[in-house]
Structure 1
Amino acid sequence: MNQLCRDFGIEYPVFAFSHCRDVVAAVSRGGGMGVLGVVAMSPEEIDIELTWLEEHCGGAPFGVDVVMPAKTVDREQGLGDSASVIEDLTALIPPGHREFAERLMEKHGVPRSDGSEPYRFGHGHGAPGLTAAYGKAQLEAVFTHRNTFLVSALGAPPKEVIDRAHAEGARVGAMVGKPEHALKSLGDGVDVYICQSYEAAAHTGEIGSMVLVPDVVDVVGDVPVLAAGGIGSGRQMAAAMALGAQGVWTGSIWLTTRESSTDPRVVQHMLTMKSTDTVRSRSQTGKPNRQIRTAWTEAWDGPESPGNLPMPLQQILYSEYTDRARRAGKYELVGGPVGQVVSRMNKVRSAGDVLLEIIEEYVATMERMSETYRSLG
């Protein structure tokens, strides 16, 4: 147990990001820190999920991950009403982009929508938290509940959010993809920096973990750092700690656990994937986002593409059309965020077993390294 563990009241410095409450609860009960991603949830859904976690974590701490993007179309357009922002933004999607998406659906045998099942972005699908207006409503819902750790998935949150989190008794984490991101918020009160490396799932920068982690460690002084990206085993955790991290942030590794809510057909695909079957693409959210390489990513990143739209317009388009593909069973179009560590995710295990295996291998690796060091002396 290190100082980070003592600060958070956890046994192991393993932070587990998941959109599934069952994974979060399993990791927190097991001695790590589960962190619930709420970007796809309505404020009402957030209330339900956090109430459930309060009842099922056995008193163990858990965290919440929100997005809070600094630059979005709705903010630029002055669309501040969370009740209507999705409809207002949907109307801004250019007809040419819809036509391109429709042709892609036709190419893969996805029938046109007959309107009988209208797609409702933000009601169990999509990521409404990528809008500034909806993200603010989500944050208000989060603050009505107890949570130990509030994480901003796209850089540091605004200073007023950090101050409010501290007043509510929560620590604040900020995802960073380069040391400059950390330096910008260094005096704002961020409690933990999470180094999101190139290998990681979802929104990533361009720097690999072997360079990013020590670079951030060197500029943030005494502020703890978590390494994120390419971490799914004890050996990888040991490497991260050797680089100066005080803990690890994991995400992809939980997608194929028994508790995960990942679509079973997507899970089966992940179990056979190589690292090169992922791609860093703007075709899902409008920002560089590592995900499964699919016919959707290939088309939108290809020469005939009309170009990816800015956040959150691309996400609205992606969610609507890939939802149709999923319902039609055309999974060659259906992907989702996953990191390069997917090549090591080759069997379904319980979240508790994954956590235990990481810790046991970490301890064994540190012992082996100690023996190697002694033999050199």
Structure 2
Amino acid sequence: MKNRMCDMFGIEFPIFAFSHCRDVVAAVTDAGGMGVLGALYFTPEELEIELAWIDDHVDGRPYGVDIVMPASSAANNLDGVDDLAGELEKMIPDAHHAFVEKLLADHGVAPWPDDGAALKTLIGWTDENARSHVDISLDHPIRLLVNALGPPPKDIVDLAHEKGVKVAALVGRVDQARTQKERGVDIIVAQGHEAGGHTGEVTSMVLWPEVVDAVAPTPVLAAGGIGDGRQMAAALALGTDGVWTGSIWLTTAESDLTPLLMDKLLDAG
């Protein structure tokens, strides 16, 4: 099929596949869709390795990178990840620590390391960390830069556009979509409550047409609970220009999910 999203990126199908697994990203891109690598959990050094690998496996076909950069956050008033990790640690009640310790002990699992590394991984969405991801990503031939946490700062949007890279961002409400458009975002990803993500409480079937109408003629990708072609057809019928998918790739042959977790997902239907 062909539509303006296909024309924009030179792809065969308006299917965008978000994944933290480079094999999935490359496989979808090579099949005519658009793979998008989630950068959040990678260090800058690891991200460079992942993107270089993708470059070697997509033969010049288009792919993208998804970052998590807060447009405005109290995090920006702290001195980097270490300070933010300390602030987050203070917010965790002692009862929670006790519950976790008992749960691990009851099931014979080794105690959780007390070095703060886990917290630093969870707060990889600081401005400092995201900017390093942007810099590395734009040194590669990516075609799309996506922000999963509100509109990217204007200087990031401008920098991407200077490199010929389109910018997209996720939204869960109509007012967020309008803000994204005003900030210069090229593509709106309207993600309904059914998604495995974190954008909001409005269901997909309600959100998609509302966002399409609110930001026209800006292209909109539908996200949230898309598992097969029927749901994609419904999304297109509601006026979107393609689909943004994530969870469906977890159980593919290319996924790096553990066999145990993959079986659990498949058993859940």
Structure-2-length-normalised TM-score: 0.91
Give, in whole Å, the separation in 2 of the partners of 1:180 and 1:86: 29
Q: Supply the distance in 1 between the matched residues of 2:102 and 2:71 (Cα, whole angstroms).
A: 33
TM-aligned CA distance change 1:27 to 1:103, over 3 Å: same
Distance 1:66 1:122, change over 3 A: farther
User: 1:211 and 2:210 equivalent?
Assistant: no
Residues 278-317 of structure 1: matches in 2 within 5 Å? none
Structure 2 counterparts to residues 354-373 of structure 1, below 5 A: none
| Aligned CA distance change for structure 1 residues 95 and 255 (closer, same or farther; 3 Å) | same
**Corresponding residue number in structure 1 for 2:219:** 224
* Structure 2 unmatched runs, 5+: none
Shift of 1:122: 8.3
Q: CA RMSD in A?
A: 2.2
Aligned match for 2:145, one of 144, 150, 158: 150
Larger radius of gyration: 1
Unaligned regions of 5+ residues in structure 1, if any? 274-342, 344-377
What displacement does 1:232 show? Answer: 1.8
Q: Which residue of 2 aligns with 1:24?
A: 25
The answer to whether the Cα contact below 8 Å between 1:198 and 1:207 also exists between their aligned partners in 2 is: yes
The 8 Å contact of residues 64 and 150 in structure 1, kept in 2 or not, is answered as yes
Q: 2:125 aligns with which of 130, 148, 165?
A: 130
Q: Which residue of 1 aligns with 2:231?
A: 236
Identity of aligned residues (%): 47
Answer yes or no: is 1:33 the counterpart of 2:34: yes
The alignment partner of 1:186 has SS state of helix
Residues 1:259 and 2:254 are matched in the alignment: yes
C-alpha deviation, 1:105, in angstroms: 2.5
Which deviations, in whole Å up to 9, do the C-alpha atoms of 1:213-243 show, x marking residues without a partner?
Answer: 0000001011000000111211111000000
1:85 positional shift: 4.9
Contact 2:85 2:116 (8 Å CA) reproduced: no
Counterparts of 2:239 and 2:139 in 1: how far apart (Å)? 35
Q: 1:183 to 1:110 in 2, by over 3 A?
A: same
Match of 2:186 in 1: 191
Q: Which residue of 2 aligns with 1:79?
A: 79
SS at match of 1:35: strand
In the alignment, structure 1 residue 141 sits paired with structure 2 residue 140 = no
User: 1:66·1:150 contact (CA, 8 Å) conserved in 2?
Assistant: yes
Aligned mates of 1:10, 1:180 — CA distance in 2: 30
Is the Cα–Cα contact under 8 Å of residues 85 and 133 in structure 1 kept in the other structure?
A: no
Distance 1:235 1:175, change over 3 A: same
Scaled by the length of structure 1, what TM-score is found? 0.66
Partner AA of 1:110 in structure 2: V
The alignment status of 1:43 with 2:38, answered yes or no, reads no
Task: Tell me, yes or no, if the aligned pair for 1:41 and 1:122 is still in contact at 8 Å.
Answer: no
Distance 1:194 1:132 in 2: 21
Distance 1:32 1:222 in 2: 22
Kindly indicate whether the alpha-carbon contact (under 8 Å) linking 1:74 and 1:89 is maintained by their aligned counterparts in 2: no
